[in-house]
Chain A
Amino acid sequence: MIQFVLLISRQGKVRLTKWYSPYTQKERNKVLRELSGVILARGPKLCNFVDWRGYKVVYKRYASLYFCMCIDQEDNELEVLEMIHHFVEILDRYFGSVCELDLIFNFHKAYYILDEILIAGELQESSKKTVARLIAAQDSLVETAKEQASSISNIIAQATK
C-alpha cells in the first residue's frame, strides 16, 4: 500500500502532498523535512529507492520536480516507479506538456487527477484513457456549472485548458 505521495521541488518546496495513512500535521512536517533532505541529496546515478523507517520511498525526478511515493516493505519498487510515471504521463496529457508551474497554480487539479489514479493508497486505474475520460467528464460538468456562475471566468478557464 502507498502510505503517501509527495511532490517536492529541487529547492525543497512542497508542491503536493497526499497522505493515505493518518499522520498528524507535526508528523507530516517531520516526514517532509527528513525525506526532502535524504532525497534531494542523492546523486543522480543512485537507485531511485530509499530505505526509510521501515518503509521504502520510491522517487523519480522529472525536470525540477521529485515525485515520491512511500510504500510498504513487500511492494514492488519498479512497479511503483511506473505508477509515478503513469501519473506524470496523465498529468502531461491533461495539461499539455506539463511543467512545474502548472502544478503550482493548479495543484487542486493535480489532486483530482491523483484521486482518479490512486485511491486508499492503491492503484485504482491503470488505463490512461479511462482516467482522462473521467477527468474530462468532471471538468465539463464543472464548466457548465461555472457557466451559470459567471461567464467571464468560464472563458478564462477555457483559455487556460
Chain B
Amino acid sequence: MEQLKTIGRELAMGSQGGFGQSKEFLDLVKSIGEARSKAEEERIVLLEIETLKRRLSEPEIPKRKMKEYIIRLVYVEMLGHDGSFAYIHAVKMTHDDNLLLKRTGYLAVSLFLSDDHDLIILIVNTIQKDLRSDNYLVVCAALNAVCKLINDETVPAVLPQVVDLLAHPKEAVRKKAIMALHRFYQKSPSSVSHLVSNFRKRLCDNDPGVMGATLWPLFDLITIDVNSYKDLVVSFVSILKQVAERRLPKAYDYHQLPAPFIQIRLLKILALLGSGDKQSSESMYMVVSDIFRKSESTSNIGNAVLYECICCVSSIYPNPKLLEQAAQVISRFLKSDSHNLKYMGIDALGRLIKISPEIAEQHQLAVIDCLEDPDDTLKRKTFELLYKMTKSSNVEVIVDRMIDYMISINDNHYKTYIASRCVELAEKFAPSNQWFIQTMNKVFEHAGDLVNVKVAHNLMKLIAEGFGEDDDTADSQLRSSAVESYLRIIGEPKLPSVFLQVICWVLGEYGTADGKYSASYITGKLCDVAEAYSNDESVKAYAVTAIMKIYAFEISAQRKVEILPECQSLVEELSASHSTDLQQRAYELQAVISLDAPAVESIMPLDASCEDIEIDKNLSFLNGYVQEALEKGAQPYIPENERSGVLDVSNFGNQDHHEALTHSLKFEAYDLPKPVVSSRVPPAAVASSTELVPVPEPSYAREIRQPASSPSVSDAGSLELKLRLDGVQKKWGRPTYSSSASPSSNSSSSTSHNTTNGVTQVDSVGTSNSKARDTYDSKRPQVEISQEKQKLASSLFGGSSKTEKRPSSTNHKASKVGSHASEKSQAPKAAVVHTEVNHEPVPDLLDLGDSTSSALSVDPFKQLEGLLDQTDVASNVNHGTAKTPDFMGLYADTSVSGLSSSFGDLLPTNRDEFNLTSELSSATRTAQGGVTQINKGPNPKDALEKDSRVRQMGVTPTRPNPNLFRDLLG
C-alpha cells in the first residue's frame, strides 16, 4: 500500500516519463505488464482501444500526440488486437514532412498493412515522392516500407525510382534498393526480369554490405536457372577467398570470424553452382578446404560456417579430401555435448550419406543416442536421417521405431508427416506381405484419418492380389491372417474411418473364404461396425456392401442363408436413409438375396476383385440408339474441344486460373481460343476419379474401377494419375523381384563393409579414447545396459555379420561411456564433470538462477574458485589449457563495470569464451541478485540508474518477473 502511494505520487510529478512517452502510455504498458491473467490483459487492451478511438475522433490533434497514439496502436496490434480503425491515421502520418513523424508513420503502416490492403494505394504516391527525396534517411524509410507494402500491382509505380537508387551515393540506400528489387522479384518475377543484370553489376560494389545484399537475389536467381550463372563461379570463388583471407573491413568480423554471414551465403551459392558440375566444382575445392581449416569450431558461428561447408561439399561434385574434412567435422558435431551441434551433425550426416554411405556406421551409437534423446527436435531430425538410410535389411527396425514415436505424439502435422514416411518406406522395402499388412494396420490404427486414402486402396489391392499368380496357398494364408487381425481389431473403440473401410472390405471379400468363420459371425461383426459408426456414411456403405458379398457367397455356395435380425433391421433402416447411396445399396442387398444361386454367382463371383473387366469405352452398344436418333433428325455430337464457337469450360477455367496467378492488368488483346491439345484429359480424369470411389461395389462398379489399373488403359496415358498402384507390386512383390530392386549395398556387400569398418573404428577409437579406457572398466553395468542399444545399432546399420560387428560396437560403446564416464567416477574427476556441466549453453545457468537462486546461497565465488583449481589440473581433459585464463577474465570482468556492453569488440575473445564468461558472470550475478534485485552485476551503475528511473515512473519489477532488469546479454 505504501508503495502504491509513492508510485502514485511519483506519477503525479510529471506527465513525461523517463522513456519519452506520456504518462498514459506508460500506464498502459505498466498495467499490461502487471496483468495477472490473459483475460485481464484483454480487458485493459479493449479499454485502451476505446480510449484511442475516442481520442482519434477529436478534432485537431497535435502531431506529437498523434504520433503517440499511433505508437500505442502499434502496441495494441502487437498484443493481437485489431486496430484497423486507425490505419488511415498512420497512412496520413507518412505524408508528413517531419521525418520523425514520417518514420513513425512508415513503421506503423508496414506493421499494420499487408501488401493487399486497400489503403496501400494511398501510400504509393508518398513513397514515390520520398524515394526521390534528397535526404537519404527519408529514402531509407521509404525503401523499408516498399519491401513490405508494394505488391505486384504497384511494383511498376515505384520500380523506376528503385532502379535509380541502385546508383545512389549512400551505400545504405543501394543496399536497401537491392533488397527491394529482390522483393519485387519474389513477388512478380516478370516485372523485374529485365533488371536482373543489375544484381550482377552490384556484386562488384565496393561496399561489402551492398555486395552481401546482392547475394540474396542472386541465390534465388541461381536456384531457378543455374546454367546462365556459371560464369560467375570464378567471381564467387574469388570473393569467398578474399572474405576468408580477411580482406573485408574489420567491422564485418563477427566473433573473430571474417564476415561469416557472407561466407555462408556464398557457400550456399557455390553449392548450387557446383551441383553435378565437375569443372565448376574443381575450382571451388581449394577455397572450401581453406574455410574448413580456418573456421573455428569453438564458436557457434564457426560451426554454422562449417555446417554450410558440409552442405556445399555434399552438393558439389565429390572430392575425397573435402569429404574427409566434412566427415571429421560431423564426428566432432556428433560427439559434442551441445544438442544444437548434435542436431546439425545428424542433419549433415544425412546429407553426406548420399555420397559416402559408409560414414554413417562410424556414428551409429551417436545416432541411436540422438534417437533416444528426450529432445523431440533432435529425435525428429534423427528419424529424417534414418529415413534416408533405410534399406530392406533395416526397414523393420526403422519403421517400428517411427510408429512407436508416431503413437507417442499429439502434433497432427508431424503425425501425418511421419505416417506418410512409414507408409512410403513400408511400400518400398517391406520384407514380407505379412509385415506390410501388420505395419499398415498399426499406422491406420494410430494415425488413421491423417493417412492418405490412396494408402488404404493400396492395402486392399495388396490383400486382393497377394504375392502373385503362382502361390495360391500363400495368398490365402495372407488373407486369413488379415481377416483374423481385423476381427481382433474391429472391437476396439474409435477406429479411424479409412481403416474401417479397409476392414469392412477385407471382411466382406475374404471373411468367409477359408471357412474358419461363419457367415453369421462376420455379418454380425459388420452390423456392429455399421451401428457403432452410424454417423459415418462411407463406413456404413462399406459395411452393407460387405454384408451383401457375404450373403452372395453363401447363396452361390448353395448354403442356406440366415439373415440375422440386427442385419435385417440395419437394411431396413438404410433403405429409408437420407443418403441415396446407402438406400441403393440396401435395396441391392435385398434384391441379391432373393435371387437364385447361378444368378448370384454371375453378378457376384467369388474372389473376383482382381479380375479384369472389359469396358466398352466407345459406348458402342449405344450405336443403334444414336443412329436411330440421327435418323430422326437429331444433331450429331461434336466433341467438346472441337466446338470452336463456345469457349469450353475447362479452357475457360484454365485461363481464369492463369489470370489469377499473374494478377496484373492485361493490355494486349485476348488470344483467340485454341483447341485443347490433350484430348485425352477427360477420360483420364474419369478413370482416376472412379478409382477413388470409396466403395468397391459389385460388378458394375468394378467394371469401371478395374480397367484403371489394367495395362490397356495405363498405356492410354493415365499413368501419372494413378501413381503407386502399379509400383507397389513391382517394388516388393515376389522375393526375386525385391532383392533385385533393393539398393546395391545389401547382404553381400554389407558384410565386407562391416569388417573394414570394424577395423577403422578400432583405430579411431584407440587414439581418441586412451584416457577414457581407465575408467570404463569400472563401468561394466552401464555396458550391459547398452547391450540393447548395440543390438539396435547392428540392426540399423549392420547387415548379417553380427559377430564381426561386435568388437567395433563395443569399442564404440567404450567411447561413449568414456565421454560420460566422469559423471559417476572418482573424486578427482568429479570436478571436471562439474565444469563440463557448467559449460552448457547460457539458458541453463539463467534458469538455475531463476528457479533456485535460494539454493545458490553458497558463496558463488567460492564455487568458482573451486572450479578454477580443478580446471587447472584437468584442463587438458576438458577443452585445453588455453581456457583457464578466461576464468581470470571473469573476475576482471565483474569488477570493471560497463565493460560488458562493448564486449564483442573490446575483448579479443572468441565466441566460446564469450559465452563462458558471460554465463559465469551471470551466474554470480543472479546469486547476488537473490539478495537485492537492484544489484545488477557487471554494470551496476547503469542498472541502478535505469531502475530508479523506472521506479520513478511507477513501474516496479513484480514478483513473477524479477528479470525485467536483467541484461539480456549478461
Contacts and interface: CB of A to CB of B under 8 A. Distances in A.
Which one of B135, B301, B343, B967 has the greatest number of beta carbons of chain A within 10 Å? B967
A157 B20 contact: yes
Contacts of B966: 63-64, 99-100
Nearest to B417: A54
Contact of B340 (A49, A83, A160): A49
Given A78-B304, A115-B144, A152-B16, A45 B844 contact: yes
Given A63-B846, A134-B140, A127 B209 contact: yes
A154 to B, nearest CB: 10
Interface string A114-130: 01000110111111111
Contact of A14 (B79, B148, B261, B938): B79
B964 interface: yes
B585 interface: no
A35 B32 CA distance: 21
B260 A49 contact: no
B901 A93 contact: yes
Given A78-B300, A126-B254, A48 B99 contact: no
Interface string B336-354: 0011101110000000000
A93 B311 CA distance: 34
Interface residues of B, number: 111
Contact of B943 (A11, A97, A138, A142): A97
B252 interface: yes
Contact of B967 (A49, A53, A99, A127): A99
A32 B81 CA distance: 13
Nearest to B100: A145
B900 interface: yes
Contact of B946 (A78, A81, A101, A115): A101
Contact of A112 (B107, B183, B304, B965): B107
A137 to B, nearest CB: 6
A79 B176 CA distance: 21
A93 to B, nearest CB: 6
Which one of B81, B175, B261, B939 has the greatest number of beta carbons of chain A within 10 Å? B261
Given A54-B413, A78-B303, A82-B300, A100 B251 contact: no
Contacts of B901: 92-93, 96-97
Given A92-B901, A152-B16, A122 B303 contact: no
Which one of A14, A76, A83, A100 has the greatest number of beta carbons of chain B within 10 Å? A76
B969 A13 contact: no
Interface string B293-321: 00000001101100110010000000000
A151 interface: no
Contact of B29 (A22, A51, A104, A111): A104
Given A45-B339, A51-B380, A96-B942, A78 B301 contact: yes
A78 B100 CA distance: 36
Interface of B: 16, 18-21, 26, 29, 32-33, 63-64, 71, 74-75, 77-82, 98-100, 103-104, 107, 111, 114-116, 135, 137, 140, 144, 147-148, 172, 175-176, 179-180, 182-183, 186, 208-209, 212-213, 216, 249, 251-252, 254-255, 259-262, 264, 300-301, 303-304, 307-308, 311, 338-340, 342-344, 374-378, 380, 413-414, 840-844, 846-847, 850, 900-904, 922, 938-939, 942-943, 946, 950, 955, 960-961, 963-970
Which 10 residue pairs spanning A and B have beta carbons closest together? A64-B963, A78-B304, A47-B339, A63-B966, A62-B968, A129-B251, A105-B19, A126-B261, A46-B375, A145-B100
